Amino acid sequence: MNVPFLDLHAGYLELKPEIDEAVARVLDSGWYLMGEQLEAFEIEYAAYLGVRHCIGVGNGLDALHLALQAMEVGPGDEVIVPSNTYIATWLAVSQTGATVVPVEPDQGTYNLDPARIEAAITERTRVICPVHLYGQPADMQPISDLATRYGLLVLEDAAQAQGARYQGQRVGGLGHAAGWSFYPGKNLGAMGDAGAVTTNDDVLAARVRLLRNYGSKQKYVHEIQGTNSRLDELQAAVLRVKLRHLDTWNARRARIASHYQQALQDTDLQLPVVLDQTEPVWHLYVVGSRQRDVLQRQLTEQGISTLIHYPCPPHLQGAYRSAGWSAGTFPISEHIHAEVLSLPIGPHLTDDQVEAVVQAVHHVSVTG
Ligand SMILES: *Cc1c(COP(=O)(O)O)cnc(C)c1O
pLDDT tens string 62-89: 999 999 999 999 999 999 999 999 999 9
State whether the Cα torsion 247-190-166-39 is positive or negative. Answer: negative
Task: Calculate the average pLDDT of the chain.
Answer: 97
Instruction: Give 208's contacts (C-beta < 8 A, 6+ positions apart).
Output: 55, 57, 66, 67, 70, 177, 197, 199
**In the structure, what pLDDT confidence band is assigned to residue 366 with cuts at 50, 70 and 90?**
low
Give the length of the chain: 368
Atom of ligand 1 lying closest to residue 85 CA: 13
Question: Which residue out of 57, 61, 308 has the highest number of ligand 1 atoms within 8 Å of its CB and is therefore the one to mutate?
Answer: 61
Could you say which of 186, 217, 219, 242 is catalytic?
A: 186
Q: Give the residue extent of every domain in the chain.
A: 8-243, 246-367
Contacts of 206 (CB under 8 A, 6+ apart): none
Q: Whose CA is nearest to atom 5 of ligand 1?
A: 60
Does the structure show a pLDDT above 80 at 368?
Answer: no
pLDDT at residue 115, as a whole number: 97
Q: Is the pLDDT of residue 354 over 80?
A: yes
Measure the CA–CA gap between 319 and 341, rounded to whole angstroms.
24
Helices and strands (DSSP H and E) totals, the chain: 12, 14
Q: Cβ contacts of residue 333 below 8 Å, gap of 6+?
A: 82, 83, 84, 102, 104, 105, 313, 315
| Rounded average pLDDT over 196-209 | 98
Q: Is 111 in the pocket of ligand 1 (CB under 6 A)?
A: no
16: annotated active-site residue = no
Ligand 1 centre distance from Cα of residue 30 (Å) = 30
User: For ligand 1, what atom is nearest to the CA of residue 186?
Assistant: 1
The pLDDT tens digits for 38-53 are 999 999 999 999 999 9
The domain 246-367 is placed in CATH, from the list 3.40.50.10860, 3.90.1150.10, 3.20.20.140, 2.30.30.40, at 3.90.1150.10
Residue, of 223 and 368, whose pLDDT is higher? 223
Does the 8-243 domain belong in CATH 3.30.70.20?
no
d(CA 121, CA 146): 10
HEC profile of 81-110: EECCCCCHHHHHHHHCCCEEEEECECCCCC
pLDDT at 4: 96
Ligand 1 centroid to residue 294 C-alpha, Å:
28
pLDDT digit string, tens, across residues 218-261: 999 999 999 999 999 999 999 999 999 999 999 999 999 999 99
CA 14 vs CA 8, 249, 309: distances in Å: 10, 11, 27
Whole-structure pTM value? 0.98
Residue 313, SS3 per DSSP: coil
Q: Helix/strand/coil (H, E, C) string of 161-202?
A: CCCCEECCEECCCCCCEEEEECCCCCCCCCCCCCEEEEECCH
Q: Which atom of ligand 1 is nearest to the CA of 182?
A: 7
**Cα-to-centroid distance, 190 and ligand 1 (Å):** 13
Report residue 289's pLDDT band, with 50, 70 and 90 as the boundaries: very high
Give 63 Cα–ligand 1 centroid separation in angstroms.
9
12 backbone dihedrals φ, ψ, rounded to 5°: -65, -45
For residue 106, pLDDT over 60 is answered with yes
β-pairing, 125-128 with 78-82? parallel
Instruction: With a cut of 60, say whether residue 367 has pLDDT above it.
Output: no
> Are the beta carbons of 191 and 183 closer than 8 angstroms?
no
Query: Is the model's pLDDT at 365 over the cut of 90?
Result: no
CB 59 less than 6 A from any atom of ligand 1? yes
Would the CB of 175 count as within 6 Å of ligand 1?
Answer: no
Residue 197 in contact with residue 55, Cβ under 8 Å?
A: yes
71 CA distance to ligand 1 centroid (A)? 19
User: Which amino acid is residue 347, in one-letter code?
Assistant: P
